[in-house]
Structure 1
Amino acid sequence: MAEHTEDAASLLDSVLETIHDKLPGHHSSSDSDSDDEKSKKKSEVSSAAASVTASVNRLFGRQKPVHSLFGGGKSADVILWRNKQVSASVLVGATAIWFLFECMGYHLLTLICHLLILSITVTFLWSKGSAFINKQSADIPKVAFSEEMFQNVASAFRFEINRLFAVLHDVASGKDLKKFVVVVAGLWILSLIGSCTSFLTLFYVAFLIAHTVPLLYEKYEDQIESFAEKAWEEIKKQYRIFDIKVLSKIPRGPLKEKKF
């Protein structure tokens, strides 16, 4: 796709040069004017090529950058590895949780109790040790969650639940048969995958995909766009062959005339 864009830009450049040479009074103009016109022409060609690239390099008609598709906030920064330390910490934490629950057989209540025992013991020893060395007790900060934080979390959770119900209502209303078939097929495939593995493993795999695929797509966008375009053309070609050989040979009853 990038090669097509470069060919289009070079073709446009050659055409503009030919037209510029054929214009009357071209040879009588000064060298400075010619240089200015050539620089202006090259800038126009580069801007045209950039606009062609921006309009073509979009997967499935995407108009926004990848960062905007994920909300453009801190979550998008974590997913796209804008801050490598934070993203790596989140990935390591998720991997540790999956390893503890799935591989070592930890339970949630057991893990919470062990973490509380460890944190309380470390804090107690730190307080006693600092008082013994510095002759004064350590200032242990108090941890308290604000009401606003819980309200924001509950509001965001409520919004996502309502949007899910709206999508399910739209699918179940019978307005779009294609969307209904896609949703039912997706849920059926998800149920088959869920029967083969645990929910935690499935969630961890989805978490890994969310932290690797968008980053790779943003890094190798041109190659992926070119491959996706070729794959989509091949899918449409195979569907046309299937339509000619199979679907067109299925007998259909006579269609009734529509009354207007």
Structure 2
Amino acid sequence: MPEKITAENLVSEIMETIAENVPKQKSVSFLEGDKSDTVTSQFNRLFGRQKPLHRLFGGGKSADVLLWRNKKISASVLAGATVIWVLFEWLDYHFLTLVCFAVILAMLAQFLWSNASGLLSSRSASKPPRLVVPNDLFVNIGKTVGVEVNQALEFIQDVALGGNLKQFLIVVGCLWAAAIIGSWCNFITVLYIGFVAAHTLPVLYERHEDQVDSFGHQVLDQLQHHYRKLDTGFLSKIPKGKIRVKKFE
């Protein structure tokens, strides 16, 4: 006699069929109760994301800091940025003043170290550690900044010359919003807001990525719906002329 098809067998067959169509990942170990969540979470990632968030950020120490893998280091970095912002924004410190005070404190600490160790011990005075900045540090920073600036310029020129009106309007809107935000506060505050957002939003997204992805898809669907209405009612009626390029001999 054929076996009775129970609800449990039917669900297991459906899950096996779905799992066969989903690409297998290396070294995946989940509990049996979480299999359905991991399978369904493969489909609706925002912007078609397939890699984990940690890997998208480079997978190194910077990704660990941004995603709070080590809470002490991440909290220390965020607290340090907050202290610097308070000194510049609330206490009206200037950069040169802050640097001079920091150098004075460092010199005072080394002076006390070198003299106190000689007075308290009969042995020879221990030398305080010397701070040496590697020469390649500034070269690497300059190269990294140069690469990022060139990529940003290349992207902006591609958008301006690509002829994609939708992408062009999105970029112009983002730049317009950034200009308005910049008029509300100074450059240091904008940097601090961006720094805090970079250290809080990724970890919050990682913890609630299913809900955020679902909400993001709904927002994108609404934006695409409004864009189609705008394209049908206005943009498609704009006459498009062909640009003739004169040849110079």
Secondary structure, aligned partner of 1:91:
helix
- Correspondence 1:207 to 2:224: no
Cα 1:249–1:71 change in 2 (3 A) is: closer
Match of 1:44 in 2: 16
- Correspondence 1:73 to 2:60: yes
What is the CA-CA distance between 1:228 and the residue it aligns to?
2.6
1:96-115 alignment, distance < 5 Å? 96-115=83-102
Farther-moved stretch of structure 1 (76-85 vs 177-186): 177-186
- Correspondence 1:148 to 2:144: no
Given that 1:13 and 1:45 are in contact with CA atoms closer than 8 Å, whether structure 2 keeps it comes out as no
User: What TM-score does the superposition give when structure 1 sets the normalisation length?
Assistant: 0.73
Cα 1:105–1:11 change in 2 (3 A) is: farther
Secondary structure, aligned partner of 2:58:
coil
Which structure has the greater CA radius of gyration? 1
Task: Name structure 2 gaps, 5 residues minimum.
Answer: 1-5, 21-35, 242-249
Match of 1:90 in 2: 77
* Aligned mates of 2:140, 2:234 — CA distance in 1: 57
The one-letter amino acid of 2:110's match is T
What is the CA-CA distance between 1:47 and the residue it aligns to?
4.0
- Correspondence 1:197 to 2:193: no
* Aligned mates of 2:188, 2:138 — CA distance in 1: 25
Cα 1:216–1:125 change in 2 (3 A) is: same
The one-letter amino acid of 2:10's match is S
Given that 1:130 and 1:137 are in contact with CA atoms closer than 8 Å, whether structure 2 keeps it comes out as yes
Match of 2:215 in 1: 227
Match of 2:48 in 1: 61
1:169-180 alignment, distance < 5 Å? 169-180=157-168
The one-letter amino acid of 1:152's match is N
User: What TM-score does the superposition give when structure 2 sets the normalisation length?
Assistant: 0.76
Given that 1:217 and 1:224 are in contact with CA atoms closer than 8 Å, whether structure 2 keeps it comes out as yes
What is the CA-CA distance between 1:157 and the residue it aligns to?
1.8
Farther-moved stretch of structure 1 (146-155 vs 215-224): 146-155
* Aligned mates of 1:209, 1:125 — CA distance in 2: 40
Cα 1:15–1:216 change in 2 (3 A) is: closer
What is the CA-CA distance between 1:173 and the residue it aligns to?
2.1
The one-letter amino acid of 2:168's match is F
What is the CA-CA distance between 1:123 and the residue it aligns to?
1.3
* Aligned mates of 2:67, 2:92 — CA distance in 1: 31
Percent identity of equivalent pairs:
42
Cα distance per residue 1:47-69 (max 9 Å; x no partner): 45467424214112111111122
Farther-moved stretch of structure 1 (147-156 vs 69-78): 147-156
Task: Name structure 1 gaps, 5 residues minimum.
Answer: 1-9, 17-40
Farther-moved stretch of structure 1 (109-118 vs 134-143): 134-143
Cα distance per residue 1:139-169 (max 9 Å; x no partner): 2222222233333222212211221221122
Match of 1:14 in 2: 10
* Count of aligned pairs between the two proteins: 220
What is the aligned-residue RMSD (CA, Å)?
3.1
Given that 1:70 and 1:76 are in contact with CA atoms closer than 8 Å, whether structure 2 keeps it comes out as yes
Farther-moved stretch of structure 1 (63-72 vs 227-236): 227-236
* Aligned mates of 2:219, 2:156 — CA distance in 1: 30
